[in-house]
Amino acid sequence: MELNTIERDDIGAAAEDLVVPPAATRKVFVKTYGCQMNVYDSQRMTDALATDGYVATDAVGEADLVLLNTCHIREKAAEKVYSELGRIRELKAERAKAGREMLVGVAGCVAQAEGAEIIRRSPVVDLVIGPQTYHRLPAVLAKARSGEKIVETDYAVEDKFEHLPQPKRAELIRRGVTAFLTVQEGCDKFCTFCVVPYTRGSEVSRPVAQIVAEAERLADAGVREVTLLGQNVNAWHGRGEDCEEWGLGRLLFRLAEIPGLARLRYTTSHPRDMDDELIAAHRDLPTLMPYLHLPVQSGSDRILKAMNRRHMAKDYLTLIDRIRAARNDIALSGDFIVGFPGETEADFEATMQLVEDVNYASAFSFKYSPRPGTPGAEMNDQVPEAVKDERLQRLQALLLKQQQHFGASLVGRTIDTLIEKPGRQAGQKVGRSPWLQPVIVDEKAGEIGDIIQVRITKTGYNSLFAELA
């Protein structure tokens, strides 16, 4: 299952802008592609490298090590990496002329899927490391510095969560008042469009004790809001502190007991793993925010079957009704793929109808992109790009209309907002609504980390504007 896609840290520095740092300092620049879990993994890599004397930098020209943490969900995401490597090749050559070494690594899902092919295609790469082996980075770098090309992607499933680095409290404080916390990785669903089961492996749940301990460290460092991550996060299960088998709903209740943690979220979910206990958590747990990302991908039963989603449109709609009955202020988000092989106009209209029926507060929509090694890539009746483009524009227009309607419905209401950071403009701070929208407030409304009551005065394209209530 796919998490919401994002991209962090542009290379953005020309070779002539190189800055040469003191020889005693090693610096690492990490560029993150893809999902929230990749953001979390980039932090894991930075934490692991701190034990090897590396400090993070936002300036690629200063870096002794450049890491691209990659996404393999769509073809363009993978191709972006190779384009970036071309630019880095020039940067590395200029660095060599200045007498400074620059190691280049590719991490993440493209690394796991393509392995040694990356080095063959881009000789500038010194090391390739998969998502489950980041704890080995210091040892891998020692070999790479000696001139050896390294591919490190093999791992034991039982070790998946055993070697997560523990950053110092000061580093956690620096990261802010919201945080991601991985509780589950991998996927057993094998949707025919998706590479995740092949790049992240089978579903593995992190032990309760590890999750609670990390959440307590985050809260101690001032984190007010934690988002639990997993490819299928609501498939999480584990033996709890009472020696009984827990599901995600029970885990959320346990995390809500941690002093200082005021807000909980989780993403990304599969409809088939949304059980009664988790729905009850939405009903009974004020700490659990009224926002749920629940991808459906298509509204056509025929396409859902071809995608191997193992549910029908009516199953999804029935589930939405149950969730809304439990929490009537909940906002729904989703993922949609248009142009899956064999999709007809009637199939697409079924998706449009489902969107009308659900009325999403936000959503992510994409054209189908064949991924090598997945069943979808081998299917007949691939939809022409022009048809995909036209359908995507229609779908996104409807989703944008719904998003804007949801934002407008909040104008005049008084809501809780967590103040997260300074605003882009002087005199402003940026908060986060219960429904995940940025909220712009006056800088005097409160301090970072405060949860304040504000009255929504107007909406922006993707944000809300508010005054202190």
- How many alpha carbons lie under 13 Å from residue 139 in its C-beta half-sphere? 6
Q: What percent of the chain has pLDDT over 70?
A: 90
The Cα–Cα gap between 155 and 211 comes to 21
Residue 17 predicted with pLDDT over 60:
no
pLDDT(65) > 70? yes
Query: What is the DSSP-derived secondary structure letter of residue 158?
Result: G
Closest by Cα among 365, 346, 349 to 403: 365
- CB atoms under 10 Å from CB of 370, counted, come to 15
Give the pLDDT confidence score for residue 155 in this predicted structure.
60
Tell the residue number behind the tokens 């071309």, with chain if given.
Answer: 86
- Rounded-to-integer distance, Cα 456 and Cα 440, Å: 9
Residue identified by tokens 């090693």 is 26
- Residue 178, pLDDT > 90, answer yes
Question: Is the separation of the CB atoms in 380 and 415 below 8 Å?
Answer: no
Of residues 48 and 466, which shows the higher confidence score? Answer: 466
CA distance 362 to 85: 33
> Model confidence over 255-307: pLDDT tens digits?
999 999 999 999 999 999 999 999 999 999 999 999 999 999 999 999 999 99
Report CA torsion sign: 366, 37, 373, 107. positive
In this prediction, residue 13 has a pLDDT band, given cuts at 50, 70 and 90, of very low
Distances (CA, A) of 176 to 160, 218, 318, 409, 424: 26, 10, 38, 30, 16
Q: Are 441 and 414 in contact (CB under 8 A)?
A: no
Q: Is the sign of the CA dihedral 190, 271, 5, 384 positive or negative? A: positive
- 316 pLDDT band, cuts 50/70/90, is very high
Instruction: Judge contact between 75 and 50, C-beta under 8 A.
Output: no
